[in-house]
Structure 1
Amino acid sequence: MPSPAKGLTQPERLEISGRKLLEAAVALIGEKGWEATSAAEIGRRAGYSRAMVHARYGNKDAILQTLFATEYEKKLSPDPDPDSTGLAQALAHLDRISLLYAEDREVLRAIFVLTFEAAKATSQAHPYIQMWLRRAAHTVESGLRTGIDDGSVRADIDIEHTVNDFGATVLGIGYQWVMQAFPYDMADELVHVRARFIREYGSAAD
């Protein structure tokens, strides 16, 4: 049987191997976390040799950097839509989580597992998660301030409290879903929380 890579260009082979390694890393993070996952395991899960991670990325840490660039930044941290209301911009991160839950739960699970694992100051993911959480908070705050100006957000809200409410609620939902200590309908909870945010922080006229 001919190799599936036969006839592919070198850039195409690199793209395929890189994608397979990232997919393998995502699956393993969801199962056992980042620190317990070795580069050799990632290579084998992807269908390559145990040395493939080092050959393709140089080291395991480079995969982590790529995951943050492709999964956290691109999928969960959208640039604000200038044509949307400030309230919609503040809700954009929550909306991306809902979309990812519907389209790729394995990736979303890995993101949450990695986020909670990074609570340890010694975790390799710690600085990345700190940076991502700060950016997410800044995006929500910016959206709220824009919303106050455009009338989509109540003018009397406490912005700091509201930003904290957004962050704590989203992380709490993620934790309950990952743990599954009891039946938990994440899709329904995300809809409920979005409605609450609009009810509590949106203006009556919006």
Structure 2
Amino acid sequence: MPSPTRGLTQPQRLEISGRRLLEAAVQLIGEKGWDATTAAEIGRRAGYSRAMVHARFGSKDAVLDTLFATEYERKLAPAPDPASSGMARALAHVDRIAVLYSEDRDLLRAIFVLTFEAATATSQARPYIQMWLRRAAQTVETGLRAGVADDSVRRDIDIDRTVHDFGAAVLGTAYQWIMAAYPYDMATELEFVRARLIRDYGSIPDRPI
């Protein structure tokens, strides 16, 4: 059987190998976490030799660096829509997770496995996850403040407490999904979380957001 990369240029082959290695890393993170995953396993899962990660990225750590710089930024942290209401912008993080749950569940699972694994001080992912959580909180806060100004968010809320509630609602939902201790439909639960946040903090609870 001819090689699928035969006839491709070197940059094209590098792009394909890099994408396959990142996809393999995402699958393995979701299955066993980052710390328990080896570079050799990533290479073999992608269909290459065990040394391919080092040949392509230089180290296992560089795979995680690339994963955060590409997949996280591109899929989990899109730019907010400045034309939307403040409440909609505060909810954008919840909405993005719901989209990923539908479209790229492997990546979403890997993201949350890394998030909970990063609770250990020695986790390589810890600085990235802390940065992601800070940015998510800032996005929610900015949206809420804009919502107070445009009347999509109640004026009497405690902004800090509300930001914490948004974060706790999302991470609590994700934790129950990852643990799979009992039947749990994350899509349904995210809809409930979204509706509850609008009901608790929206200026007009039954207005579409």
TM range (shorter): over 0.9
Does 1:161 pair with 2:179?
no
Q: Which residue in the other structure is 1:34 paired with?
A: 34
| Equivalent residue, structure 2, for 1:81 | 81
1:91: which partner in 2? 91
Q: C-alpha offsets along residues 82-114 of structure 1, whole Å, 9 cap, x if unaligned? A: 111111110011101000000111111111101
Identify unmatched segments of 5+ residues in structure 1.
none
SS of the counterpart of 1:78?
A: coil
Deviations 1:114-141, CA, capped at 9 Å, x for gaps: 1000000111111110011000000000
Equivalence for 1:122: 122
Task: Describe the SS at the equivalent of 2:204.
Answer: coil
Partner of 2:57: 57
Structure-2-length-normalised TM-score: 0.96
- The alignment status of 1:15 with 2:42, answered yes or no, reads no
Residue type at the aligned position of 1:163: V
SS of 1:122's equivalent? coil
When the two structures are aligned, how many residues end up with a matched partner? 206
Counterparts of 2:107 and 2:51, CA distance in 1: 24
SS at match of 1:36: coil
C-alpha deviations, 1:6-43, integer Å up to 9, x for none? Answer: 11111111110001000000010011100000111100
When structure 1 is superposed on structure 2, of 68-77 and 49-58 the one drifting more is: 68-77
Alignment of 1:96-115 (within 5 A): 96-115=96-115
C-alpha displacement of 1:66: 1.2
Gaps of 5+ in 2: none
> Which of structure 1's runs of 4+ aligned residues deviate more than 6 A?
none
Deviation, 1:71, is 2.5
1:144 aligned partner: 144
Per the TM alignment, residue 72 of structure 1 is displaced from its structure 2 partner at its CA by 2.1
Question: How far apart, in 2, do the equivalents of 1:110 and 1:184 lie?
Answer: 18
Deviation at 1:185, TM superposition (A): 1.1
Matched residue type, 2:104: D
- Identity of matched residues, %: 76
Contact 1:141–1:159 (8 Å) recurs in 2: yes
Q: CA deviation at 1:80?
A: 1.5
CA contact (8 A) 1:94 1:170 kept: yes
- List per-residue Cα deviations over 1:131-168 (Å, max 9, x = no partner): 11000000000010111111111111110000000101
